[in-house]
Amino acid sequence: DIVMTQIPLSSPVTLGQPASISCRSSHSLEHSNGNTYLSWLQQRPGQPPRLLIYKISNRFPGVPERFSGSGAGTDFTLKISRVEAEDVGIYYCMQAAQFPRTFGQGTKLEI
Amino acid sequence: QVQLQESGPGLVKPSETLSLTCSVSGVSISSYFWSWIRQPPGKGLEWIGYMYYSGNPDYTPSLENRVTISLDTSKNQFYLNMSSVTATDTAVYYCAGYTATTQTPDLWGQGTLVTVSS
């Protein structure tokens, strides 16, 4: 299985300031079809996860523009340009290059 | 509006079989891939397996000898059965759907807590 490692596991942030979460995979997530399948999900307290970003940098419909993804190969980053109160929650990276899908441990974003 | 709803017993005895149903409304079950994902209390997400209506299911290796995923297109439902459960299977179980484009669940049920206890 591909191991996903997130840094940090907890991130205190200030409203209106940027935030960044890193994710590293144990193997390249580049598929033979040329796509790199790294996704980011947000889980607000008491809610199911929600897809934010897929294939490194594609925002899912309805996701605010302040969320952006970048990276390549085995190193990826989720950035929030200006944190809002509703962004509190746990963020997971997930690899979709191979089965079984695997998730990072989660990063808790706290105001 | 697409909705996914998990249903099943909230309490299962050790060594018995956990059975859950995901009822899908607002979209045809044949148009998505369907997965089960679980989350132990206070912990992270674990992929259990997935199925597409025209293919065979695929399971995470650590669970594949105890898990069966199936679906019924006529009822627009899919199912999870997990045998020989222990306390470590206590978790919130989510059903989720995704497309070939995202390869990541973008449709989620609210989740159902299953507790394994005698």
CB contact under 8 A, B104 and A54: yes
Q: Does B61 touch chain A (CB under 8 A)?
A: yes
Q: Looking at the predicted structure, is the pLDDT value of residue A62 above 90?
A: yes
Selecting from B35, B44, B101 the residue whose C-beta is nearest the C-beta of A103 gives B44
The contacts found for A59-63 with CB under 8 angstroms, 24 or more apart, are: A60/B102, A60/B106
Q: Looking at the predicted structure, is the pLDDT value of residue B105 above 90?
A: yes
DSSP strand E in B1-118: where? 3-7, 11-12, 18-25, 33-39, 46-51, 58-59, 67-72, 77-82, 91-98, 107-108, 112-116
Q: Looking at the predicted structure, is the pLDDT value of residue A4 above 90?
A: yes
Q: Looking at the predicted structure, is the pLDDT value of residue A111 above 90?
A: no
Q: Looking at the predicted structure, is the pLDDT value of residue B55 above 90?
A: no
The chain-wide mean pLDDT, for chain B, equals: 96
* Beta strands at B91-98 and B107-108: parallel, antiparallel or unpaired: antiparallel
What is the interface size between A and B, counted as CB pairs within 8 Å? 63
Cα B115 from Cα A94, distance rounded (Å):
26
CB contact under 8 A, B102 and A100: no
What is the signed CA dihedral for A47, A48, A53, A59, rounded to 10 degrees? -60
> Residue range B96-118: average pLDDT?
96
> Residue range B93-117: average pLDDT?
97
> Residue range B41-52: average pLDDT?
96
> Residue range B85-89: average pLDDT?
97
Nearest CA among B34, B54, B49, B38 for reference residue B96? B34
> Residue range A63-89: average pLDDT?
97
Structure tokens at A105: 């441990």
Selecting from B35, B102, B110 the residue whose C-beta is nearest the C-beta of A60 gives B102
Residue A12: asked if its preceding bond is cis (omega within 30°), the reply is no
Quote the pLDDT of residue B13.
Answer: 97
> Residue range B20-31: average pLDDT?
95
Calculate what percentage of chain A has a pLDDT beyond 70: 100
pLDDT-derived band at B23 (thresholds 50, 70, 90) equals very high
Cα B86 from Cα A32, distance rounded (Å):
38
Residues of A in contact with B49 (CB under 8 A): 100
Q: Looking at the predicted structure, is the pLDDT value of residue A37 above 90?
A: yes
A111 within 8 A of A41, measured Cβ to Cβ? no
Calculate what percentage of chain B has a pLDDT beyond 90: 97
Residues of B in contact with A1 (CB under 8 A): 60-61
Closest-CA residue of A relative to B98 is: A51
Phi, psi of B89 (to 5 degrees): -90, 0
Quote the pLDDT of residue B14.
Answer: 97
Q: Looking at the predicted structure, is the pLDDT value of residue B96 above 90?
A: yes
CB contact under 8 A, A99 and B109: no
